[in-house]
Structure 1
Amino acid sequence: MFAKGSLQLYGARVDLETITPDATALRALSHPVRLRILGRLRFDGPATATSLAQRLGLNSGATSYHLRQLAAHGFVVDDTTRGNGRERWWRAAHQSTRTPDEAEQAQDPAAQDANDAFNQAVAVVHTEGLQRAVEERPLLPVPWRAASTLSDWGLRLTPGRAQQLMKAVVAVVDGWEEDGEGEPGAELYQVVLHTYPRPGRVATEPCS
């Protein structure tokens, strides 16, 4: 869910570009609040539990608890370069999260279950973000409204060609040159990709 460029403001300070968590860690991350917290740290930079709570509409106690859970599984770490000893600052440890590919998951039911739970949580967060964007759209300047879209296509494809399409779109976004931090009018721009066979059209496999 966390794409290229999500740490442009402090990318040099992350430990690794990507984390591929095991099933236990992925289950710990599969909570909409934790995904929102991690997303804020990746997009906006280091923060305290108090400031995150204010931005996300949470209480600081619950936010601290979720941060500790994220830290226990390696998603966030202390930012020891900030604070005055009274406040604990946190930063994201990685730019993005990736899950094992489908072939690996097929060999490990626990990994498959964890990935399914993760996808459910991601869907909740994406839906919330989209709803907020739609609500804010009428307030945006005309150029930004023109740069926003809610579009969908229905294509008849085999699984192999569908994967090719998905990878081609990802390659376009990954290769898109970003505007510099000093570029007038440049802002963080969200690109969210959802691809899937139309629900109800593909015969599903029986649950084991």
Structure 2
Amino acid sequence: MEITPSITPDAAGLKVLAHPVRLEALGMLRVEGPATATMLAQRLGLNSGATSYHLRQLAQHGFIEEDTERGNGRERWWRASHRATRTSAEGLAPDDPVHDLYGSYLHAVADVYDGKVRRALDEQSSLPQAWQDVSMISDWVLQVRPEQARALLERLVEEIQDFPETTDDDPEGAAYCLQVQAFPLPGRLS
């Protein structure tokens, strides 16, 4: 079954995704493929009951769906319904209730990203040297106008989206995570 490239959540969807466990479970289903609540619970460090609850919340809002092609009747398998989640605060007024939901969602995303970076750092020294050599945590602070920042982000996104990936069966290939955080330097505009 072919899954949809992306979804843009409504307010209720943003509220569901504003929970780091749900975001992480969704990410695992997108990257690692279908899984049961028990499998995800082990990876998330939760019990299967709590994990099942979070999966039902994701399913109720269309982020995941039951994978009926797997299992034996006793196991309930889940798969991602979309490859990516797209959100934007563009056009949201600060007094719009969705603005607060969007902020809560972004804080959950930051928590998940932080955890992913910390786990990567924990295992970096055990990686083959070739993978250690292409791991980086850096920042650049540029003095730009908003339109320049938009152009830069658009170029980065275009480059990433157009980049040729290896196939899943490539023995030298691996899932390679790029995280981009872009924002005005805190405390400089307020």
TM range (shorter): over 0.9
TM-score (norm 1): 0.88
1:166 and 2:153 matched: yes
The answer for the alignment partner of 2:169 in structure 1 is 182
1:136 and 2:120 matched: no
The answer for the alignment partner of 1:4 in structure 2 is none
**In structure 1, how many angstroms separate the alpha carbons of the residues matched to 2:78 and 2:143?**
46
SS in 2 for 1:96: strand
Deviation of 1:101 after TM superposition, in Å, equals 4.7
**In structure 2, how many angstroms separate the alpha carbons of the residues matched to 1:37 and 1:108?**
31
TM-score (norm 2): 0.96
1:102 and 2:90 matched: yes
SS in 2 for 1:182: coil
**In structure 2, how many angstroms separate the alpha carbons of the residues matched to 1:77 and 1:201?**
44
1:113 and 2:100 matched: yes
1:36 and 2:36 matched: no
**In structure 2, how many angstroms separate the alpha carbons of the residues matched to 1:49 and 1:129?**
20
**In structure 2, how many angstroms separate the alpha carbons of the residues matched to 1:129 and 1:160?**
30
Q: What letter is aligned with 2:139?
A: D
**In structure 2, how many angstroms separate the alpha carbons of the residues matched to 1:69 and 1:154?**
39
The answer for the alignment partner of 2:76 in structure 1 is 88
Deviation of 1:182 after TM superposition, in Å, equals 2.8
Q: Is the 8 A contact 2:6 2:86 kept in 1?
A: yes
The superposition leaves residues 35-75 of structure 1 with CA deviations (integer Å, 9 ceiling, x where unpaired) of 01000000011110001101111100000000011111111
Q: What letter is aligned with 2:61?
A: H
SS in 1 for 2:125: helix
SS in 2 for 1:179: coil
The answer for the alignment partner of 1:9 in structure 2 is none
SS in 1 for 2:79: strand
Q: Is the 8 A contact 2:15 2:105 kept in 1?
A: yes
SS in 2 for 1:77: strand
SS in 2 for 1:106: coil
Instruction: Report how many aligned residue pairs link the two structures.
Output: 190
Q: What letter is aligned with 1:122?
A: V
Deviation of 1:180 after TM superposition, in Å, equals 2.0
Question: Which ranges in structure 1 are unaligned for 5 or more consecutive residues?
Answer: 1-11, 204-208
RMSD over equivalenced CA pairs, Å: 1.3
Aligned partner (choices 17, 40, 48) of residue 60 of structure 1: 48
Q: 1:111 to 1:172 in 2, by over 3 A?
A: same
**In structure 1, how many angstroms separate the alpha carbons of the residues matched to 2:180 and 2:134?**
16
Deviation of 1:107 after TM superposition, in Å, equals 8.3
Q: What letter is aligned with 1:163?
A: R
**In structure 1, how many angstroms separate the alpha carbons of the residues matched to 2:139 and 2:6?**
29
Deviation of 1:148 after TM superposition, in Å, equals 0.5
Q: What letter is aligned with 1:74?
A: G
